[in-house]
Structure 1
Amino acid sequence: MARRVVVKIGSSAITSFHGGIRRAELDTLADVCQTRMTGGSDVFVVSSGAIGAGMAPLGMTTRPATLSAKQAAASVGQLELARAWGDSFARYDRVVGQVLLTAADIGRRDSAANAQRTLDRLRTLRAVPVINENDTVATNEIRFGDNDRLAALVAHLISADALILLSDVDALYDSDPRKGDATAVTMVGGEGDLDGVVAGAGGALGTGGMASKLAAARLAADAGIPVLLTSAERATEALAAEPTVGTVFAARP
């Protein structure tokens, strides 16, 4: 069983357009993470949803289009998300530590090392690191683009044993399963397994689609980290000791 696990949670799993954060769904995901931690693993949560969480308090009914509006929504939503995760894990007497990163933080050796030390110290203190892109200061030029890539980079930064990407799709398909016949790809051991796979862009609540998840999975696999891609609804099976759902990307030598 992987001892150090990064779990990325997509926006659509925990936020909605008109209700802000979906507390019941967030609590369920915290329950699953707690079960894994009780079993002996360290779990690092990469949580999307800051913009979605900030939309409802600000009275926004559609996802903001301009960078400044996105940053304003994120500045509100990051507080909402941190509070929600904190309340949820407090049921297990666990403290949450919020870690906001930009691409520049990972790209500089000194700041990357500092982030690595902070994450490791949170782990030793039994706090749950909840990581997100720092949307309030990131610009179009320096932002990760989505939290799938951020999760892959964090997994590499902390030398994770596994990366689990949870979204609204239960596996990688060779085409969009919402548009007709599509075949699930259960194992990706090399580039040949991706022949003929067509991956699309993101949905209304998030920036990452299957294309970004595929790119993030390949990035982590190339760094020697196995990846499991499935839906947030299958989180219990995904975080089991021997997961039997979704698509597995085997680590490359």
Structure 2
Amino acid sequence: METIKLEKQKSQDETAARRNYLRERIKDKKRIVVKIGSSSLQHPETGDLDYTKLDVLVRELCDMRNRGKDVVLVTSGAIAVGKKAVHIKDINHLDEDNPIAVKQACAAIGQARLMMTYQKIFAEYNQVAAQILMTKNTIVDNLNRYNAHNTFSELFKLGAIPIVNENDTVATYEIEIGDNDTLSAIVAALVGADLLILLSDIDGLYTDDPRTNTEAKFIEVVEELTDELMDMGKATTGSSVGTGGMNTKLIAAQIATSSNIDMIIANSKDIKVLHRILDGNNIGTLFAGTEKKYFDLPEFVEKMNNY
């Protein structure tokens, strides 16, 4: 019995040591992609932008930049902001001849407003920001991908922070990426990031949906994305505002970790978790990147609509 206890204690100590190592190495990350979802940017009562959160987010990103990190922000919210601007409550229930065109029009209005807001707040912290809009073709087409990579590289050299969103104004099913969890992982792989942080409305990965199952257990670290873990996400959906649930986050983790990028899912309730994560604190669920292996990003993106 004593031997069993010692072996169990040894295993627990090794697990804790490994977890601490994985967290400690976060401090040394040099290129970081941060994704924030629509629901994290808005007041739940009204759907209007939460300027306090936006200000804290921008301040955290600027502080990362001041630490000498390259930073990319992947932001949702264009369609939601556009809907509010033209007083549309629910696009999905509009009796229109072309509902996709309505969404694209809302995206065109909302993206301009969203970017204007970001530019104003970044300017208050003397930080240059740039806009990059992407579709699936940006990754699948070799020349487009090469040009996008060069653009990001030059922006990093200039000290700018790229702000990325899917180009919902032109994207249709055939060329859309579909959600910004996946987009952020694609961007992370494209720019050679070493850390991806997904800010969401949940603390991280659980064994089941904690909103419906009080027995669900929190998972601190994932070192291998097994089929069982991937299947766990398929039953979950996102909020009524965003498009991503846990399934899209696990697909993002698959892309990121296969590209040797650590990924963390953390709760956006307190945006200041960003600097605490970079300080090595045990926050959210950490998916450990694996050693680089062959991973065909364009091929993966081409097949994404089958997921």
TM-score (norm 2): 0.78
CA contact (8 A) 1:171 1:229 kept: yes
Distance (Å, rounded) in 2 between the aligned partners of 1:148 and 1:244:
21
CA contact (8 A) 2:40 2:200 kept: yes
CA contact (8 A) 2:56 2:272 kept: no
Query: Which residue, out of 264, 267, 272, partners 1:236?
Result: 272
CA contact (8 A) 1:10 1:47 kept: yes
Structure 1 counterpart of 2:217, which letter?
T
Structure 1 counterpart of 2:178, which letter?
G
Matched, 1:119 2:157: no
Deviations 1:198-228 (A, max 9, x none): 4512221111111101111111101111101
RMSD (Å), alpha carbons: 1.7
Quote the residue 1:80 is aligned against. 113
Distance (Å, rounded) in 1 between the aligned partners of 2:172 and 2:79:
15
CA contact (8 A) 1:152 1:220 kept: yes
Distance (Å, rounded) in 1 between the aligned partners of 2:164 and 2:91:
21
1:34 Cα shift?
Answer: 1.4
1:241 Cα shift?
Answer: 2.8
Quote the residue 1:31 is aligned against. 59
Matched, 1:252 2:279: no
Structure 2 counterpart of 1:62, which letter?
D
Misfit runs of 4+, over 6 Å: none
Any unmatched runs of 5+ in structure 1? none
Give the secondary-structure state (helix, strand or coil) at the position aligned to 1:177.
coil
Instruction: Answer 1 or 2: which has greater strand percent.
Output: 1
Deviations 1:58-100 (A, max 9, x none): 1011244632221111111100110111111111111211100
Give the secondary-structure state (helix, strand or coil) at the position aligned to 2:232.
coil
Which is greater in Rg?
2
Change (3 A) 1:195 1:134: closer
Quote the residue 1:208 is aligned against. 244
Quote the residue 2:190 is aligned against. 157
Give the secondary-structure state (helix, strand or coil) at the position aligned to 2:272.
helix
Matched, 1:188 2:254: no
Give the secondary-structure state (helix, strand or coil) at the position aligned to 1:130.
strand
Matched, 1:147 2:180: yes
Distance (Å, rounded) in 2 between the aligned partners of 1:70 and 1:126:
33
Quote the residue 1:40 is aligned against. 68
Query: Which residue, out of 11, 15, 36, partners 1:9?
Result: 36
Distance (Å, rounded) in 2 between the aligned partners of 1:198 and 1:82:
31
Query: Which residue, out of 241, 256, 263, partners 1:220?
Result: 256
1:236 Cα shift?
Answer: 2.4
Any unmatched runs of 5+ in structure 2? 1-27, 94-98, 292-307
State the identity as a percent.
Answer: 38
Deviations 1:180-212 (A, max 9, x none): 321111111113482873451222111111110
Structure 1 counterpart of 2:117, which letter?
A
Distance (Å, rounded) in 2 between the aligned partners of 1:15 and 1:120:
31
CA contact (8 A) 1:152 1:217 kept: yes
